[in-house]
């Protein structure tokens, strides 16, 4: 953590849509973070498709930046949509790039996962796949509480503000637990 | 199937690397396909990251082409690497784009999966994730035989030709079974 | 299928509780089966824990009976609870016993999966694990429609009758689709 | 931990076979445990099939014993076979029983997973399923190093002693890492 003692969390949304519920949920997390935690959002929209031939020439600047930001963060907060019973290809692609040697930045990093979807199951399956990936990457995922925002269309207003109080409460509770998880693993 | 009776399979590799073992395995499949089956390879290198705002303006031409080719094919042959215990973000992104309504092209489509990796497990976990995706998409996956090419670096030559005879035999057997699977589901 | 042309489906519930929602859902399926389909329920309560040393002496009679019934059936209908993000150990144990060589009875068998749970997600994760198992066993699982009965306590009456009309309709639709799936695979 | 400072680990094998490779691997772990760690093995052979009606009358004595032993342990070491691309029904059944309220004993417990199988993949899929279960149960699984013993028939002698030196080394390394994991989470 920084000298000031503030816990710095890097948030990444798996959806590039301007009105994305997951990006909106990250903004809500910024508001709801407990004292001593700040959350910055990294936009993965300009990361190219992973290609090892490109990587052999060096990481693209945006990937270098992502890797440096992950490395510098005290923890990660991933917000995933569920597409086809898994996380988005967009988020997986960012993880694939960021994870490449040397200095795999997810190793030993505290990670929390959440997700929002218009459907009834709230990204349960996407979160399951994401968690599976971090076994290999040795990310230290918090198990619970889980935040799965279902019926998302009714829980955010037209400006993307999270208005559903129960969801706000569960998100705040998750962030408080995540702060404790990060501290426990220091 | 076409009037000539030939079974047309569309092959997609989840790796963009020029020397990709998975792309090489698809080329081997072209050679080893049983009589009456032809395999064309679709290159997903130019598919952009999925963004629903972009999609709202219409599918990009390369995605239109992919969707049309899937729709026209009698079956799909997916060759996946394993990155971080899952399929590649690149392949997932192509599936995410192709699957968007209207006219989801994977529905009812016979699909075979294979994978090659330098490691010991030969993409077992990546194939598991891919199969999970196609439950939602109602793709009709052949269960067995499975082709998991481990230690791939020793099974292809410098030009990317599959030289390992046991692997060639298992690939040929899988394609023969896939032909029967496609015919069974007509 | 039998000479009379009736399609015989074997139903198995993964919960042994007398008032099990999953067993109750199988009884509802018996009522709602389309014309030409009959469903019998096999009770797995007396199957012992799997032990290969016991198996080496021969299958226990109840396992022999289960294997014979699976083999004779035109298809299987599995109703699974969700315990700890997976199917029940009880159902997995029955599958482990039934699957042992020789003459693995799940091979090529049409299978439909459903599940009921008191919680919000309706066994989505349990069904995912079950489907994964049948890749190895070469069971021919219908992808969709999926039946995931959430909030089960409010959908059955005190006698275990499925009273929720929307669930009855979705179960009937699934059974009709399953009949078509079995016929397609003959 | 006990007053003497020794770390007590409870080992559970998912196979009941007398000559089980997984039980043999646990015995090897007992030998190879680092200084300050002792491993006791709990035999789950007499745990009945889970039935909530039985549980309503109280936990069977063997389940009470299992729950008390889990609660008292500083960590768990699970050795799983792979049956049908998942863990054994026998092990899942023990987890189902042990996990029932009140006082869910897996919560916050450090857990290491390993597995041995005669096949080529060494229980990769079974371990994936087990890990998924402990998200719900809030078990604190060590990610790495993973121990997947493939080709097990050639790595143990007729008395069940682990003779393969590379496997012994990887098991010892895993146990050393697990000791550090348990200490980190205190």
Residues of chain C neighbouring D94 (CB-CB closer than 8 A): 89
Chain A interface with B: residues with Cβ < 8 Å? 15-18, 45, 47, 49-53, 83-96, 99, 125, 129, 132-137
User: Under a CB-based contact definition with an 8 Å cutoff, are residues D11 and D26 in contact?
Assistant: yes
Q: Could you tell me the end-to-end alpha-carbon distance of chain C, in angstroms, rounded to an integer? A: 9
Q: What is the pLDDT of residue B4?
A: 57
Phi, psi of D182, deg, nearest 5? -60, -45
Across the interface, whether the CB atoms of D125 and B120 are under 8 A apart is answered no
Chain C nearest C-alpha distance from D3 (Å): 33
Best of A44, A86, A133 to mutate (most B CBs within 10 Å, chain B): A86
Omega before C149 cis (within 30°)? Answer: no
Please state, for a pLDDT cut of 90, what percent of chain A lies above it: 95
User: Under a CB-based contact definition with an 8 Å cutoff, are residues C89 and C14 in contact?
Assistant: no
CA distance C111 to A109: 41
In this structure, the dihedral spanned by the alpha carbons of residues A17, C128, B88 and D117, taken in order and rounded to 10 degrees, is 160
A122 confidence band (pLDDT: 50, 70, 90): confident
Element (DSSP H or E) covering residue A64: helix A61-72
- The structure tokens listed for B153 are 């670096």
Q: Could you tell me the end-to-end alpha-carbon distance of chain A, in angstroms, rounded to an integer? A: 9
Q: What is the pLDDT of residue D2?
A: 52
**What is the DSSP pairing of strand B37-42 with strand B75-80?**
unpaired
In whole angstroms, how large is the CA radius of gyration of chain A? Answer: 16
Interface chains of chain C (3 or more CB pairs under 8 Å)? A, B, D
- The structure tokens listed for A43 are 């936009």
Return the higher-pLDDT residue of B174 and D119. Answer: B174
ipTM above 0.90 for this complex: yes
Q: What is the pLDDT of residue D62?
A: 98
pTM, to two decimals: 0.97
Residues of chain B neighbouring A135 (CB-CB closer than 8 A): 85
Q: Could you tell me the end-to-end alpha-carbon distance of chain D, in angstroms, rounded to an integer? A: 9
User: Under a CB-based contact definition with an 8 Å cutoff, are residues B70 and B98 in contact?
Assistant: yes
CA distance B61 to D139: 47
Q: What is the pLDDT of residue A2?
A: 52
Name which of A120, A124, A150 is nearest C125 (Cβ-Cβ). A124
Tokens 């990796």 — which residue? B117
User: Under a CB-based contact definition with an 8 Å cutoff, are residues B130 and B113 in contact?
Assistant: yes
Q: Tell me the pLDDT tens digit for each residue of B149-177.
A: 999 999 999 999 999 999 999 999 999 99
CA distance A61 to A97: 12
CA distance D114 to C11: 34
Across the interface, whether the CB atoms of D83 and C96 are under 8 A apart is answered yes
Q: What is the pLDDT of residue B2?
A: 52
Q: Could you tell me the end-to-end alpha-carbon distance of chain B, in angstroms, rounded to an integer? A: 9
Interface chains of chain D (3 or more CB pairs under 8 Å)? A, B, C
Q: What is the pLDDT of residue D132?
A: 97
- The structure tokens listed for B156 are 């292809």
Tokens 């000539």 — which residue? B4
**Collapsed DSSP state (helix, strand, coil) of residue B79:** strand
Is the pLDDT assigned to residue A171 strictly greater than 80? yes
Chain C interface with B: residues with Cβ < 8 Å? 128, 131-132, 134-136, 138-140, 143-144, 146, 184-185
User: Under a CB-based contact definition with an 8 Å cutoff, are residues B25 and B90 in contact?
Assistant: no
Region B37-52 average pLDDT: 98
CA distance C128 to C146: 11
Q: What is the pLDDT of residue D4?
A: 57
The chain D residue lying nearest A136, using CA atoms, is D143
Name which of B84, B90, B99 is nearest A84 (Cβ-Cβ). B99
Question: Could you tell me where the DSSP H helices lie in chain C?
Answer: 21-32, 52-56, 61-72, 89-98, 124-137, 165-185
Q: Tell me the pLDDT tens digit for each residue of B85-143.
A: 999 999 999 999 999 999 999 999 999 999 999 988 889 999 999 999 999 999 999 99
pLDDT in tens, chain C (186 residues): 555 579 999 999 999 999 999 999 999 999 999 999 999 999 999 999 999 999 999 999 999 999 999 999 999 999 999 999 999 999 999 999 999 999 999 999 999 999 999 988 889 999 999 999 999 999 999 999 999 999 999 999 999 999 999 999 999 999 999 999 999 999
- The structure tokens listed for D80 are 């799983």
| C104 CB neighbour count, 10 Å cutoff | 19
B vs D, Cβ pairs < 8 A, gives 15
User: Under a CB-based contact definition with an 8 Å cutoff, are residues A17 and B51 in contact?
Assistant: yes
In order, the DSSP letters of B48-62 are PPP-HHHHHT---HH
CA distance B132 to B126: 10
Q: Tell me the pLDDT tens digit for each residue of A92-111.
A: 999 999 999 999 999 999 99
Region B48-72 average pLDDT: 98
């Amino acid at each position: 953590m920084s000298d000031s003692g503030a816990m710095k969390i890097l948030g990444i949304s798996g959806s590039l849509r301007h009105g994305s519920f997951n990006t909106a949920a990250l903004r809500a997390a910024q508001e709801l973070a407990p004292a001593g935690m700040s959350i910055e959002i990294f936009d993965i929209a300009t990361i190219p498709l992973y290609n090892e031939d490109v990587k052999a020439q060096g990481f693209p600047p945006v990937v270098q930046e992502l890797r440096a930001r992950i490395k510098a963060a005290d923890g990660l907060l991933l917000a995933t949509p569920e597409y086809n019973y898994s996380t988005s290809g967009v988020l997986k692609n960012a993880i694939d790039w960021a994870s490449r040697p040397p200095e795999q930045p997810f190793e030993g990093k505290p990670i929390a996962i959440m997700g929002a979807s218009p459907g009834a199951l709230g990204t349960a399956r996407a979160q399951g796949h994401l968690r599976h990936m971090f076994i290999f990457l040795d990310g230290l995922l918090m198990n619970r509480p889980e935040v799965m925002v279902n019926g998302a269309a009714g829980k955010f207003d037209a400006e993307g503000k999270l208005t559903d109080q129960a969801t706000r409460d569960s998100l705040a509770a998750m962030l408080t637990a995540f702060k404790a998880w990060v501290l426990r693993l220091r």
